[in-house]
Structure 1
Amino acid sequence: MLTYLFTAVFAYGTAVHLVQLVGGGSDPYPGVPVVVAWFFVALVVLDPLAAVLIARRRRIGLVLGAAILLVDAAANAVVNYPPHDPTDGMTAGRVGQAVVTVLAVLLVCTAPRLWRWYR
């Protein structure tokens, strides 16, 4: 069940970042720090790689997936909270950042259990 969940999460992440990259033209992440923008672009390759590795039950997929989600949660926090985003209250970006954080914690906490079934 968790294998399917995380495969779907990374497949969805691939689609989201691909749409942002294609739809954003020459600057898909305007105003975002360069390092964060590079990371978001890299997710077009890293997310599907994690999806395939997790679907094939490879341990390295758990490690890569956890690293991706942890860095993605931090990167989204940088761009969705002050000083970068001074908006008060709840925003779509902040909800998305919270979801990514929950998924990161879930993968980190379940990876030891999954590790036994992966090779």
Structure 2
Amino acid sequence: MDLVLGGVHAHAHFSQVPSEMFFVGLVILDPLVAVLVGLVRREGVWLASGVMALDLTANWIDNWPWVQEDPSRLLRLVGLLPVTLFAVFVIATAVPLHRALAVSASALAQIPHGCCCGESRGCSIVRRPASGTGGSCTVSARTGS
């Protein structure tokens, strides 16, 4: 919204030009992260962590003079506190989430070929044709015999 109202200089109040460029670049990076994470891609986890680390760093650098002037700014519900807490959450969960996605991907690769798309006798996990996907399969736990 800031870019719509203020154009590319919407973040000109930041003292550092690289910070201003980074915040404008978030218009592309944030949706990219959302799509990759939404598609359950491991690359999305790493990109989200990197973007949040850079976002947190840029916010602290640009707000540091205000924090030194009035440390109570850290306790406000809008500003560094929620950005910092969210960044810590994203970065702290990145490695466990990446491991979980890696285990899921390797488990999917271990499904025998005969368990794919309807040939499901003796399979605990079944790949079924996904509607509208041109014959690709989705994976579901086998229910019933």
- TM-score when normalising by structure 2: 0.59
The answer to whether the aligner puts 1:50 opposite 2:33 as a matched pair is yes
Q: Report the alpha carbon displacement of residue 67 of structure 1 after superposing the two structures with TM.
A: 0.5
The answer to whether the aligner puts 1:25 opposite 2:7 as a matched pair is yes
Q: Which is helix-richer, 1 or 2?
A: 1
Gaps of 5+ in 1: 1-18
Which moved further from structure 2: 73-82 or 43-52?
A: 73-82
- For 1:1-119, list aligned pairs within 5 A: 19-25=1-7, 27-32=9-14, 33-82=16-65, 87-88=69-70, 89-90=72-73, 95-118=78-101, 119=105
Report the aligned-residue RMSD: 2.5
Q: 1:86 to 1:116 in 2, by over 3 A?
A: closer
Gaps of 5+ in 2: 106-145
Describe the superposition over 1:40-77 as per-residue Cα deviations: whole angstroms up to 9, x where unpaired: 00000000000010111111101000000111011111
Q: How many residue pairs get matched? A: 100
Greater relative contact order structure (CA < 8 Å, 6+ sep) = 1
Structure 2 counterpart SS, 1:24: helix
What corresponds to 2:109 in structure 1?
A: none
Identity rate of aligned residues, in percent?
37
Q: Which is strand-richer, 1 or 2?
A: 2
The 2-side partners of 1:94 and 1:76 are apart by 15
